[in-house]
Amino acid sequence: MAQQSAPTLIQSVQRAFRLLEAVSDLQDRATAKELSHRTHIALPTTYHLLRTLVHDGYLQRLGDGTYTLGHRMEVVLDQGRPARAVAQARPALEWLRDELHSPVYLAMYDDGEIVIAEIVDSPKVPRIDLWVGIHDAAHATALGKCILAHLTDDEREEYLARHPLHALTANTVVDGRELRHQIEGSVHLATDREEYALGIACAARPVVTENVIGSIGFATLSRRPDLARASNALAEAGGRVQRALALA
């Protein structure tokens, strides 16, 4: 009888999975050195793998240098219809990225939280890292304000009661009355001018279906983006994304 050959295993893939497991075991806040020690992966290799996992959205690097699970893990864990919806919406997000020459983000309201469902970038237009997760910064982002504008009054107030209005920059709105006024004006188009991070401006528009409350937006290093041109592109892409989400 012929001897059965051993399966071909890709060591770098195995190591990447070990890093993901370690980040989860360490309660989502771990340094590269801690992960290297825990997984017995050489530190230079750990850095290379972490950089790749962050780029693809499976991990997120926070401002203090630690790592947490990224937005793509939520898509992987949330199997079925939501994952299919994001996949079907991706071509429209890629079109918007190329049209605006900026990284593009898709956010959704899911089980009482606002989460990033997809980030579409490229080597020419790299993503702008979310140094504070959108869970804690929806009030300072165009994506978050756009979604908050489409919640019911009770849902919005319950969300704001659970999420303190942290001042991420000097421009962040931390007054509840002023924020609610901004949210009221974000039903069709929301903006963020250096509220989340200095030197970064964002704009977003809603994508709402029977089962989804979401938003799509772009980020730019320009403090004064061409919102007239951007709003037209966002409207075009938003319609396409909305149809994809409705059909998934």
**Domain ranges (residues) in the chain:** 11-69, 73-247
pLDDT value at 5 more than 70: no
**CATH code, residues 11-69:** 1.10.10.10
- Rounded CA-CA distance 43/47 in Å is 6
Compute and round to an integer the Cα radius of gyration of the chain: 19
Architecture of domain 73-247: 2-Layer Sandwich (3.30)
The Cα 85–Cα 81 span in angstroms is 6
Judged against a pLDDT cut of 70, whether residue 56 lies above it is answered with: yes
- Mean pLDDT of the 141-157 span: 95
Q: What is the pLDDT of residue 1?
A: 45
Q: Return all residues near 32 (Cβ < 8 A) that are at least 6 apart.
A: 43, 46, 47, 50, 65, 67
Closest CA to 89 of 104, 102, 111: 104
Q: What is the pLDDT of residue 248?
A: 65
- The structure tokens 């992966």 sit at 41
Q: What is the mean pLDDT of the chain?
A: 85
What is the per-residue pLDDT across 235-248, written as a single tens digit (0 to 9) for each?
999 999 999 888 76
User: Is pLDDT above 60 for 6?
Assistant: no
Burial label for 177, CB within 10 Å (0-12, 13-18, 19+), is exposed
- Model confidence pLDDT, tens digit, residues 169-216: 999 999 999 999 999 999 999 999 899 988 888 999 999 998 889 999
Q: How far is CA 170 from CA 3, 182, 194, in A?
A: 68, 17, 8
The structure's pTM equals 0.70
Q: Residue length, the chain?
A: 248
Residue 9 predicted with pLDDT over 60? yes
- Identify the CA nearest to 216 among candidates 240, 234, 192: 234
